[in-house]
Amino acid sequence: MFGQTQFEGGVFQEAIPGGRASAAIEISASGIEAVASTGQKFYIAWRDCQLDMGGATGRMVFCRTADRKTTIFCEDRKFPGALELEAGAELKDELDVIRGKRRSERAQFRFWLVFSLVACVLLLIGGYYGLLAMAKASIVAIPISVDEQIGDLAFDSVAPDGDQVTDPVIVNAVQSMVDRLKPHSELKEMKFDVKVFHSADVNAFCLPGGKIVVFTGLLKKAKSPEQVAGVLSHEMAHAIKRHGLQQVTQSLGIVVAFELMIGDVGGLVALAVELGKNAALTSYSREYEIEADVTGVRMLHAAGLDPLALAGFFEMLRDEGKDVPAAIAWLSTHPQHEIRIQTIRAELANLGKQEYRPLEIDWDEVQKHLDQLGAAKVDLPL
């Protein structure tokens, strides 16, 4: 055996406390093994290995199992060469892609040298928080496709456990709410993909890029379709305001801020998904939640839907003494009901007169189908 076979790196795996740990990596002729700092060992055979390159610096190599449950990663420049030496033809195509990225990296060296000098000046002048603020402002120039990549990949990890609902009466009712709101979105190019899942949770969430998940518990709880549309307007507003991308920037720190400022988003997507799978991203701030409420009220008003229906929904939950459950840990932690009610009413007072038109949905029929869906679940054979 020739060349270096031992490296320092890390591993992502659900069995590790916190989902991530540093690791000592050993490459052999049959596969790659990582011994985590916790003492746990993880092994990936070459025949089951998939490679990717990215990370905050763009030079990190990820070795994943086919089911993506285990990821071993290393940033050492000699690591790809060691993989090629030991894995041989089994990883040839993927290694060719990585070599191409390395050549591109060298071609950009002069640019990075100039940029590093500029970045140092920015750090001295504006400091850490100033840089993050600039990164946040630069998000408007990032294509919506980046949000969609994060949302699509994250959905594979955060998809609800319940069965997806296909009953057209239920699904079409929710879709009609989104269709009524979508024309009044600030981001006309954003698409919204609606999925309904059978769950008792009184909840809905919208991933970056516009992938919406609605739980049947929310539909059962709401007294009218306008109340559900109100909840959806808030969740859609998170995607429209690109809070997910902003949250990733804040969570992953200053290196990702550099990437956003120059439009290099490959590493951002890779790390956002890896961290999101292990609950390493924090929930939305109070500022983002209030902004989503305000944006939602404006969408409802413009769509001819009474925003007070949303306020009424929260008043109902408040009177019952129940809190709105968190949607997904890295996407949503809502303010208290009373704050949200006050925000909705205050924003509505600032808007002009509008003739509100109810949604053309037979809500009693939707509830009947929801009841039948629940009965079908109970009657399933063991």
**In a shared domain, residues 301 and 157:** yes
**In a shared domain, residues 358 and 211:** yes
**In a shared domain, residues 96 and 225:** no
CATH of residue 12's domain is 2.30.29.30
**In a shared domain, residues 193 and 97:** no
Q: Taking the mean position of all CA atoms in its chain, how far away is CA 217?
A: 22
The answer to whether residue 136 is domain-embedded is: no
Mean pLDDT of the chain: 80
**In a shared domain, residues 354 and 239:** yes
Q: What is the pLDDT of residue 329?
A: 30
Domain boundary among the residues 106, 136, 153 is at: 106
Give the model's confidence band at 301: pLDDT under 50 very low, under 70 low, under 90 confident, else very high: very high
Token pair in block for residue 311: 């306020």
The answer to whether residue 117 is domain-embedded is: no
Domain boundary among the residues 88, 106, 124 is at: 106
**In a shared domain, residues 51 and 183:** no
Domain boundary among the residues 55, 81, 106 is at: 106
Domain that holds residue 50: 6-106
**In a shared domain, residues 154 and 291:** yes
**Among 77, 46, 76, CA closest to 63:** 46
**In a shared domain, residues 181 and 93:** no
SS3 state at 40: coil
Number of domains in the chain: 2
The answer to whether residue 307 is domain-embedded is: yes
Q: What is the pLDDT of residue 1?
A: 47
Task: Evaluate if pTM is beyond 0.75.
Answer: no
**In a shared domain, residues 152 and 290:** yes
Task: Please give the C-alpha separations between residue 283 and each of 190, 270, 279, in angstroms, as whole numbers.
Answer: 22, 19, 10
For residues 313-337, average pLDDT: 58
> Which residues in 31-67 are b (16+ Cβ under 10 Å) and which e?
bbbbbbeeeeebbbebeebebbbbbbebbbbbbbbee
Q: Is the pLDDT of residue 284 over 80?
A: no
**Among 304, 303, 313, CA closest to 220:** 313
The answer to whether residue 129 is domain-embedded is: no
